[in-house]
Amino acid sequence: MSRIDEATRDALLAAARGARAQAHAPYSRFAVGAAVLDEQGRIHAGCNVENAAYPQGWCAETSALAAMVGAGGRQVRAVAVCAESDQPVTPCGGCRQKLREFAADDCPVWAGNAAGLRAMHTLGELLPASFGPHHLPAPNPPTP
């Protein structure tokens, strides 16, 4: 992995913060924003989207990944999550696995809040000894 410069990290955190402002979280009242940096250097952001049928809601990281895939991105080089909590907020277990589909073990995952960066982990630290695409036979070529 090439090291990601501070300006890009801050841009990613800012994108996550901006997306958080759009969160639809009337049930938990816990707004989250996330942003991913793709292999083209583009930033894709998203927020959590809750649902009156509670389990049908989804996380900010999932929204950010969907935005990336919809825009043609296929690799995640870095992740930022923004929320307000006593402890820095890292992706939930399900989102760690979703990120794993597109990101390597050394991918940085930054946790921030309105004031800035609070914690940094790699995806490999958050999801050690993970199951991933490399466990499966070579996938079919991408659909046109």
Look at the block and give the residue holding tokens 């990336």: 68
Q: Which residues bind ligand THU (CB under 6 A)?
A: 25, 28, 30, 32, 48, 50, 57, 59-61, 81, 89, 91-92, 95
Nearer residue to ligand THU within complex by CB, 55 or 137? 55
Q: At residue 126, what is the residue type?
A: L
Cβ pair 9, 35 in contact under 8 A: no
Cβ pair 44, 68 in contact under 8 A: yes
Residues facing 76 on adjacent strands = 38, 103
Q: How far is the CB of 82 from ligand THU (least distance, A)?
A: 10
Q: How far is the CB of 63 from ligand THU (least distance, A)?
A: 8
Active site members: 61
Nearer residue to ligand THU within complex by CB, 72 or 92? 92
Q: How far is the CB of 103 from ligand THU (least distance, A)?
A: 15
What is the number of other CB atoms lying within 10 angstroms of the CB of residue 90?
19
